[in-house]
Amino acid sequence: MRAIQKRASRAPGKEESMLTRNRFPLYTWGVLIYNLLVILWGAFVRATGSGAGCGSHWPLCNGEVIPRAPAVETMVEFTHRLTSGVALLMVVGMLVWSYRAYPRGHIVRRGALLSMVFIITEALLGAGLVLFELVAHNASLTRAVSMAAHLLNTFILLACITLTGWWSSGGEPIRLRGQGAVASWLMTGMVGLILVGMTGAVIALGDTLFFAHTRAGGSEEDLAPLVAAIVSIRMMHPALAIGIGAFVVVAAWYTSTARPGATTRWLAIALTALYAVQLVAGYVNVALQAPVWMQLVHLFLADAVWIALVLLAASALRVSAITAETRAAASMVGAKG
């Protein structure tokens, strides 16, 4: 009788826990989408030269909690800070929820914890740009390096949130050991995309500074040395994007062949299509002299390609893929014997 009472008392808690866990994936994917929007707004801040809208104050805006009679640039920057703060709180919520819904040591907890770590570093990098005045028309080497570092951190943050959503939706943990050539192809492709993204971030900075300078009536001769150097090598980025893009597409199709399955195949197709559109967008961006709206489209597609590759890797490098491959190899050996 006591056993029945204990089960009855525990049942509602278990049902509530399962309901909470079932809702968690939807929330996590929402966090990912929201962070993408915040990233795009951050690019809008950079492209419009509004990064100094709150002066060199952080977290205050021009020394005030809420700016009074703000200029347009101030509103753009202040809005970015507010939305970034909401993004941070959403990741905090994701972390707390994961610890309440999943047991100790669960992969979802780890993904949420890493997401928390990298959104904090994302915030610190953004604060550093403001405090060290690496915004607006600053054309220093330090700013160029910081833009590349910011892009790297952003990609890692997106990967962590994406994997948290994937694992909470039923995806298996990833294991690199024993995955053979598939892991090598995918990891090399990811490093390549990071390299393309980092160079693209620096080129985008150069475009912003260059066109702002020329529209203000300046000439190419009196450009800052760094801006002139970036503009002169800007065609290296498209060449790099085409070369690494071809590698990523080949890696995707090799993966879909080596790890056959509906999900892997669909992700390989999606990755190929996204990268093709991204290359076209890059060409249009250069042809139109990098208008703000096209820079945002280009960045969104870059993030989408990165997320697609992360999902492809998560699907292909799952733990059960090693077991299935080992069994297939063993059956082939047995058939030959």
What confidence category does residue 12 fall into, taking pLDDT thresholds of 50, 70 and 90?
very low
CB 173 within 8 A of CB 111: no
**Average pLDDT, integer, range 293-312:** 97
pLDDT-derived band at 92 (thresholds 50, 70, 90) equals very high
Q: Are 237 and 200 in contact (CB under 8 A)?
A: yes
User: pLDDT confidence of 56, banded at 50, 70, 90?
Assistant: confident
> Given 3-state DSSP classes, what are the helix, strand and coil percentages for the chain, each rounded to the nearest 5?
80, 0, 20
User: Can you give the pLDDT at residue 9?
Assistant: 42
Span 63-78, mean pLDDT?
Answer: 86
Read off the pLDDT of residues 217-258 as tens digits, 9 standing for 90 and up.
555 555 667 666 776 677 788 899 999 999 999 999 999 999
Residue scoring higher pLDDT (128 or 334): 128
Q: Judge contact between 317 and 190, C-beta under 8 A.
A: no
Beta bridge pairs of residue 61: 64
327 — pLDDT class (breaks 50, 70, 90): very low
d(CA 174, CA 178): 11
Which H or E run contains 12? Answer: helix 2-47
Structure tokens at 90: 């959403």
Q: What's the CA angle centered on 62, arms 58 and 63, to 5 degrees?
A: 75
Query: What is the phi-psi region of residue 271: left when phi exceeds 0, alpha when psi lies from -120 to 50, beta otherwise?
Result: alpha
Whether this model's pTM surpasses 0.85? yes
Render the burial of 64-88: b for 16+ CB within 10 Å, e for the rest.
Answer: eeebeebeebbebbbebbebbeebb
Residue 195, pLDDT above cutoff 80: yes
Query: Does the pLDDT at position 176 exceed 70?
Result: yes
Rounded to an integer, the average pLDDT of 17-28 is 81
What amino acid occupies position 313? Answer: A
* pLDDT per position as a tens digit, 258-293: 998 999 999 999 999 999 999 999 999 989 988 999
pLDDT, tens digit, 9 for 90 and up, residues 131-158:
998 888 787 888 888 999 999 999 999 9
